[in-house]
């Protein structure tokens, strides 16, 4: 099983690296989007990853800010996952830029009327906050590793100034106070940046389907659901010690995921039913095309069947004590959430803004048909492999799980 | 091989002819000349009373308007007027614009939308050229995260190709889909031959700057940028009308300073049949259509 896992990792890493090199060697030429559908899989993947990050972070905030002690064991891991997902999101959207080398212009010459400029600045603040939270959550365990050789020892010495005496209760108490303050800043920050991503789409008047006040709310609920589901799947399947506490917490997380699926579905009902009810208008046409157009299966198979129906059934079964079912359901929700993100980004774009424009000038970049190319998928695979690697390495070299290294707990 | 070479030589000749055409096409029309009086045939004493006819090409009138606008000392208010009744759908404006700005495949500033009305044999066509609307309330400007696009005092929405990061947020924000992204493709790409043709290596003078496109790990702007119609700002600065105006065979496109009541465009946009696209959005386009 373990060997298969590494083989899969190797294959994905090879695909990802191929995508990475192609992106630099060929720019945007192998991508399937064009000028009428200017954003594609990468933008969808980016909001998917950033949602995972915000969701995982808000889960950790339940512990550090709201004092939900039952979730305490997974809080540092949630911070690591949030950091890795943030990295995945940023690298994906960085590849999407026409001029990669100019990304820092957003810092040098920002236009704060642009939601995109806000987003970048908020991410930066959020990334720094994640790093400092992780530092204050973990440093109490570090003196134990100060004598070690290798990266762990080096990091332990660097981060605590060579300290070898254990942290006193008083010091730990003080660190928890700092964590509470950081988390308290982090909650509105996470809401602002992810709601802001929703607003980045929602504020665009030209795109009928995006231009809706529900978008920021939809993005936040989606973040909680996808990030929460990802953390649940990771916890159920990969937590090194499967004891009574693990069982109890898995059941709790399963119930949370179930509740969030249903709440997200309620918002989605509003998103689809309001513009579609009377069967007229351009939004109706575009949404009808999402549900019953050529890519109907993205909605019905990947989202509704594999992301809602199957997980809900599994969870109803799982909360009676079948933890494997909870893990599988959460995994399905976390993975198929990309389908929801694709259905947020693409349908509005493939809907022409001026009828007949597509026949005015013929070019493969000037069509309203979009399907992600293998190249685009390979770049997303690169981001996923990178996120996994960062998470794995951090869990190995830092005492993320119960204040210890992965191999010590296992 | 020799066949390939002769093909290349032939294309080179064509390219240099096109280039020469562009240079010659840039000669300003001599303005200031008085309207030509049309010679009328002698009127028979008992015939119908004919008015004294005068004829002047609108291009000459617009050239005179342009020179006045550039000399008057205050900022002009550039507008474009397109008479849909005169447009025959020849696409000369689309092509001449591509030549003027050396546009690569996939980048187009002024496409002409064709719409078929009715079914054969009761059928007709109508045409709608769509340049950048140079909106007074442009949705593409506030979205730019780095402020690489802005509204000029004369009304033109400008892009700084050296600042644009290529995020394409402005493309999704334009209700007229008037912006296109330069993917770095070239006309000779994937064709048999020996690389780029000379015409593909010519610089573009858009926005009054000199840019030579080049694809690469770090692409040379405007590759990797959002691009759009500039009302031929670089030509205006040299006293020339936009290329699409001068090449319109039906004289269906008009250009000028709307702050000058004497100008042709001023008179046209105040007609009751002047319309703008998507008025309901409040973008206040600077392109008017006569219908």
Asked whether the beta carbons of residue A114 and residue B169 sit closer than 8 angstroms, the reply is: yes
Mean pLDDT by 10 residues, chain B (291 residues): 54 56 51 66 63 80 96 95 96 96 96 93 94 97 97 96 96 97 93 85 93 90 96 96 96 96 96 96 97 94
% of chain A beyond a pLDDT of 90:
83
- pLDDT at residue number B44: 62
- pLDDT at residue number B16: 59
Q: pLDDT tens for residues A25-43?
A: 999 999 999 999 999 999 9
Asked whether the beta carbons of residue B167 and residue A116 sit closer than 8 angstroms, the reply is: yes
Q: pLDDT tens for residues A377-405?
A: 999 999 999 999 999 999 999 999 888 88
- From the list A105, A360, A363, the residue facing B105 with the nearest CB is A363
Is residue A77 predicted with pLDDT exceeding 70?
A: yes
* Eight-state DSSP code of residue A162: T
- pLDDT at residue number B216: 85
- pLDDT at residue number B56: 85
Contacts of B228 in chain A (CB under 8 A): none
Mapping DSSP to helix (H, G, I), strand (E, B) and coil, where does residue A404 land? strand
- The residue in chain B having the minimum alpha-carbon distance to the alpha carbon of residue A105 is B146
The verdict on A362 touching B (C-beta cutoff 8 Å) is no
Is residue A54 predicted with pLDDT exceeding 80?
A: yes
Weakest-pLDDT range from A7-11, A249-253, B51-55, B181-185 = B51-55
* Tokens at A286, concatenated: 């575009």
Question: Please, what is the average pLDDT of chain A?
Answer: 93
- pLDDT at residue number A69: 87
Contacts of B185 in chain A (CB under 8 A): 29, 365
Asked whether the beta carbons of residue A360 and residue B113 sit closer than 8 angstroms, the reply is: yes
Asked whether the beta carbons of residue B143 and residue A354 sit closer than 8 angstroms, the reply is: no
Contacts 24+ apart (CB under 8 A), A170-179: A171/A140, A172/A140, A175/A136, A175/A137, A175/A139, A175/A140, A176/A64, A178/A136, A179/A64, A179/A133, A179/A136, A179/A137
Query: Could you tell me whether strands B78-83 and B287-290 are parallel, antiparallel, or unpaired per DSSP bridges?
Result: parallel
pLDDT, average across residues A348-367: 92
- pLDDT at residue number B49: 61
Q: pLDDT tens for residues A115-139?
A: 999 999 999 999 999 999 999 999 9
At residue A295's C-alpha, the angle toward residues A305 and A16, to 5°, is: 85
- The residue in chain B having the minimum alpha-carbon distance to the alpha carbon of residue A106 is B146
- The residue in chain A having the minimum alpha-carbon distance to the alpha carbon of residue B165 is A99
Label residue B162 exposed, middle or buried (CB < 10 Å: 0-12, 13-18, 19+): middle
- From the list A39, A116, A354, the residue facing B113 with the nearest CB is A354
- pLDDT at residue number A108: 96
The verdict on B225 touching A (C-beta cutoff 8 Å) is yes
Q: pLDDT tens for residues A200-231?
A: 999 999 999 999 999 999 999 999 999 999 99
CB atoms within 10 A of CB B149: 22
Asked whether the beta carbons of residue A96 and residue B183 sit closer than 8 angstroms, the reply is: no
Alpha-carbon distance of A113 to B150, in angstroms, equals 12
Asked whether the beta carbons of residue B144 and residue A25 sit closer than 8 angstroms, the reply is: no
Which residue from A43, A219, A282 is spatially nearest to B169, judged by alpha carbons? Answer: A43
Contacts of B181 in chain A (CB under 8 A): 28, 34-35, 38, 98, 365
- pLDDT at residue number B112: 96
Asked whether the beta carbons of residue B225 and residue A98 sit closer than 8 angstroms, the reply is: yes
pLDDT, average across residues A66-84: 92
pLDDT, average across residues A335-350: 94
Nearest Cα of chain A lies from the Cα of B44 at a distance, in angstroms, of 51
Q: pLDDT tens for residues A166-193?
A: 899 999 999 999 999 999 999 999 899 8
- pLDDT at residue number A406: 79
- The residue in chain A having the minimum alpha-carbon distance to the alpha carbon of residue B172 is A38
Say which residue the tokens 């009744």 belong to: B85
- pLDDT at residue number A164: 84
Asked whether the beta carbons of residue A361 and residue B115 sit closer than 8 angstroms, the reply is: no
- pLDDT at residue number B1: 41
Q: How many CB pairs under 8 A join A and B?
A: 161
Contacts of B177 in chain A (CB under 8 A): 35-36, 352-354, 357
Q: Which of residues 251-290 of B touch A (CB under 8 A)?
A: 277, 281
Nearest Cα of chain A lies from the Cα of B187 at a distance, in angstroms, of 11
- pLDDT at residue number A402: 82
The pair phi, psi for residue B238, each rounded to 5°, is -110, 20
Q: Is B260 left (phi over 0), alpha (psi -120 to 50) or beta?
A: beta
């Amino acid at each position: 099983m373990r060997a298969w896992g590494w083989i899969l990792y190797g294959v994905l890493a090879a695909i990802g690296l191929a995508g990475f090199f192609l992106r630099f060697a060929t720019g945007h030429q192998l991508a399937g989007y064009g000028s009428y559908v200017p954003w594609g899989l990468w933008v969808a993947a980016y909001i998917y990853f950033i949602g995972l990050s915000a969701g995982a972070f808000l889960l950790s905030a339940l512990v550090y800010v709201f004092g939900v002690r039952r979730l305490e064991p997974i809080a540092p891991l949630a911070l690591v996952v949030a950091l890795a997902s943030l990295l995945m999101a940023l690298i994906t959207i960085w590849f999407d830029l026409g001029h990669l080398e100019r990304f820092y212009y957003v810092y040098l010459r920002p236009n704060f009327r642009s939601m995109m400029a806000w987003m970048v600045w908020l991410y930066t603040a959020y990334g720094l906050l994640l790093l400092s939270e992780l530092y204050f959550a973990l440093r109490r365990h570090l003196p134990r590793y100060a004598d070690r050789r290798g990266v762990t020892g080096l990091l332990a010495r660097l981060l605590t100034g060579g300290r070898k005496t254990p942290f006193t209760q008083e010091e730990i108490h003080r660190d928890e106070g700092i964590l509470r303050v950081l988390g308290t800043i982090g909650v509105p920050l996470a809401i602002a940046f992810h709601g802001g991503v929703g607003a980045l789409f929602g504020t665009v008047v030209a795109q009928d389907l995006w231009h809706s006040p529900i978008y920021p709310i939809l993005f936040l609920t989606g973040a909680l659901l996808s990030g929460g589901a990802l953390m649940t799947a990771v916890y159920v399947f990969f937590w090194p010690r499967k004891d009574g506490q693990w069982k109890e917490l898995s059941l709790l997380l399963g119930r949370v995921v179930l509740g969030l699926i249903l709440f997200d579905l309620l918002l989605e009902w509003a998103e689809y039913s309001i513009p579609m009810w009377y069967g007229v208008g351009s939004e109706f046409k575009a949404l009808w095309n999402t549900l019953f157009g050529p890519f109907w299966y993205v909605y019905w198979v990947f989202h509704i069947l594999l992301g809602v129906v199957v997980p809900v059934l599994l969870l109803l079964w799982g909360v009676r004590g079948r933890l494997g079912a909870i893990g599988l359901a959460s995994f399905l929700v976390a993975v198929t959430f990309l389908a929801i993100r694709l259905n947020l980004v693409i349908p509005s774009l493939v809907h022409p803004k001026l009828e007949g424009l597509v026949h005015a000038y013929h070019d493969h970049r000037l069509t309203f048909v979009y399907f992600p190319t293998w190249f685009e998928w390979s770049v997303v695979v690169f981001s996923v492999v990178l996120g996994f690697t960062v998470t794995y390495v951090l869990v190995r070299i830092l005492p993320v799980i119960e204040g210890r290294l992965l191999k010590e707990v296992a | 091989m020799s066949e390939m070479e002769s093909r290349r030589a032939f294309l080179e000749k064509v390219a240099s002819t096109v280039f020469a055409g562009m240079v010659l096409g840039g000669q300003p029309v001599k303005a200031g000349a008085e309207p030509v009086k049309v010679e009328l045939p002698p009127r028979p004493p008992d015939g119908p009373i004919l008015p004294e006819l005068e004829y002047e090409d609108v291009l000459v009138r617009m050239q005179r308007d342009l020179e006045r606008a550039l000399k008057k000392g205050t900022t002009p208010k550039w507008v474009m007027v397109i008479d849909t009744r005169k447009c025959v759908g020849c696409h000369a404006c689309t092509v001449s614009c591509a030549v003027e700005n050396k546009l690569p495949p996939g980048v187009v500033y002024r496409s002409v939308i064709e719409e078929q009305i009715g079914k054969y044999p009761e059928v007709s066509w109508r045409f709608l050229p769509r340049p950048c609307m140079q909106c007074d309330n442009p949705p593409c400007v506030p979205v730019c995260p780095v402020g690489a696009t802005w509204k000029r005092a004369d009304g033109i929405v400008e892009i700084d190709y050296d600042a644009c990061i290529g995020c394409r947020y402005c493309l999704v924000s334009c209700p007229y889909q008037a912006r296109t992204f330069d993917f770095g493709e070239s006309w000779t790409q994937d064709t048999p031959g020996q690389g780029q043709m000379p015409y593909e290596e010519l610089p573009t003078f858009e926005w009054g700057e000199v840019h030579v496109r080049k694809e690469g790990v770090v692409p040379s702007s405007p590759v990797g940028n959002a691009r759009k119609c500039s009302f031929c700002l670089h030509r205006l600065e040299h006293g020339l009308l936009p290329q699409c105006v001068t090449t319109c065979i039906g004289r269906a496109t008009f250009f000028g300073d709307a702050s000058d009541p004497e100008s042709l465009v001023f008179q046209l946009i105040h007609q009751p049949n002047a319309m703008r696209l998507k008025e309901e959005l409040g973008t206040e386009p600077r392109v008017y259509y006569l219908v």
